Amino acid sequence: MVSGISLDDHYTVPGRHWHSLGDGRVQCDVCPRACRLHEGQRGLCFVRGRVADQVVLTSYGRSSGFCVDPIEKKPLNHFLPGSAVLSFGTAGCNLACRFCQNWDISKSREIDRLSDAANPDDIAQAAVRLGCRSVAMTYNDPVIFLEYAIDVADACRARGIKAVAVTAGYLTDAPRRELFNHLDAANVDLKAFTDDFYRRTCAARLQPVLDTLVYLRRETDVWFEITTLLIPGHNDSDAEIDAECGWIADNLGADVPLHFTAFHPDFKMRDVPPTPPATLLRARQIALGHGLRFVYAGNVHDAEGGRTTCPGCGAAVVERDWYRIDHYRLTDDGRCARCGMELPGRYDGPVERWGPRRVPVSITSGIRS
C-alpha cells in the first residue's frame, strides 16, 4: 500500500523498534506482524509506515476525540474506583478482529478525520482541569502509537495523573518493556483461548498476548485486569473458558480480575446473535470454580456479576450496576470495612462518584455541548 507519508507532516515522527532487512525492505518490530516495508508503504496498522528509509509514526498528536468516562468502563474495577478517566484514541489497529466494537476508529484510514490535535501536555492539563484521576489510551490500541502513548503517559505522570492503556497486548518483547514501563494500569483483552480463534478471527496469534500477561504479572507493578468478550459459537464453549481460567489461575494467580463481557453484533459479525446472560453466568461459574476471586460480567445489568466480594469474610464490599457504584464498603486504602482484609488493586482515598456518565470533551475548550 502506498500513501502520502512525509517527514514534513507535523504529525509524523521517527519510530522506534525497526531494522533494515538487507533486501531493500525495513521491518517494523513493534508487534508480531513484523510488517516488511518498501519505501512509501504503510503497515497493517496503517499509522506506521516507511519514509526516507525509516519507520515512522504518522499519528503523533492526533486524536479521534476525547471523552470523560467512569474508570469502570475500561473496564477496571480495582483501580481508583468511581473515578473519572479522560479517554482518547487515535486511528488504526494492529489486529483485524471481525467483531471489532470500535471499527469506525480502529479501521479508519482517513487520518484527516481525526478531530483533535493534542500534544501530550495538553492532554495531561485537560485531565487535571476536568477532575480526572487518569488518562486512558483506548478506542484503539496504544501499541501502534507507542511513541505518542509514552509521551502522553509521561506528561500525565508529571502532573499526578495516572496513565492507563486498554490493549490487546499484541506486541513484541522490547516494545512491551518500553511501553509498560510508563504505565500505571492496563486492561488487556484476551480475545479467546485458542490460537485458531486468533488466527481466523483477528489475523493474529494467541501466544504473544499470553506473554504480555505473564510479563505484566511477573515483571511489573502495572495494575492490570483482563477482559474476554464472549462471542456465541466462537469462543464461549465450556472447554475453552475452562482452559482460559485454568491458565490464568496457574500463571497469573487468583487475584487478577477477569471481566466476561457481552458481544453485540457488529462490523463483520452481524450474523452472530448477542451473548445471552446465561453464557456470562456460566463463564463466571467456571472461573470461580478455578478459584479466581474477582470475576465480573460486563455490558449487562447483573447484580451478582457486578459485585466485589471480600475473600476474607465474604462481605459484598462493592456493588455495581453496569458502570455505577451503588454500595462501597472499602476503606480509603482498599481494605474491607468489615474484616480489614486488603483487596488487590490501587486505592487512594475515598471512592469517587463520577457515575455512569460518558461526556465528550474538547481538550482545548472543555465540555462539548
Task: Count CB-CB contacts under 10 A for residue 25.
Answer: 14
CB of 210 to ligand SF4, least distance (A): 18
Q: Which of 5, 13, 26, 30 binds ligand SF4 (CB under 6 A)?
A: 30
CB of 102 to ligand SF4, least distance (A): 17
Report strand pairing: 62-63 vs 54-57. Answer: unpaired
Which residue number is nearest to ligand SF4 in terms of Cβ? 43
Write out the three cell numbers for 40. Answer: 512509501
Q: 450474523: which residue's cell? A: 271
Q: Which of 63, 64, 90, 94 binds ligand SF4 (CB under 6 A)?
A: 94
28 binds ligand SF4 (CB under 6 A): yes
Closer residue to ligand SF4 (CB): 94 or 279: 94
182 binds ligand SF4 (CB under 6 A): no
How many chain residues bind ligand SF4 (CB under 6 A)?
Answer: 12
34 binds ligand SF4 (CB under 6 A): yes
Q: Taking CB under 6 A as the criterion, which residues in 312-351 touch ligand SF4?
A: none
Distance CA 87, CA 98 (A): 24
Binding mask 130-169 for ligand SF4 (x = CB under 6 A): --------------x-------------------------
Q: Taking CB under 6 A as the criterion, which residues in 35-74 touch ligand SF4?
A: 35, 43-45, 48
Q: Residue 75, preceding bond cis, omega within 30 degrees?
A: yes
Closer residue to ligand SF4 (CB): 45 or 80: 45
Write out the three cell numbers for 180. Answer: 509498560
Q: Which of 5, 13, 26, 31 binds ligand SF4 (CB under 6 A)?
A: 31
Instruction: Tell me the window of 27-35, 195-203, 269-277, 299-307 that interacts with ligand SF4 (CB under 6 A).
Output: 27-35
Q: What radius of gyration do the chain's Cα atoms show? A: 20
The angle that helices 173-180 and 146-158 make with each other, rounded to 10 degrees, is 20
User: Among 97, 90, 184, which Cα is nearest to 143's?
Assistant: 90
First to last CA, the chain: 39
Distance CA 5, CA 195 (A): 34
Closer residue to ligand SF4 (CB): 168 or 192: 168
Distance CA 365, CA 38 (A): 41
Distance CA 117, CA 322 (A): 32
The residues that touch ligand SF4, with contacts defined as CB under 6 A, are: 28, 30-31, 33-35, 43-45, 48, 94, 144
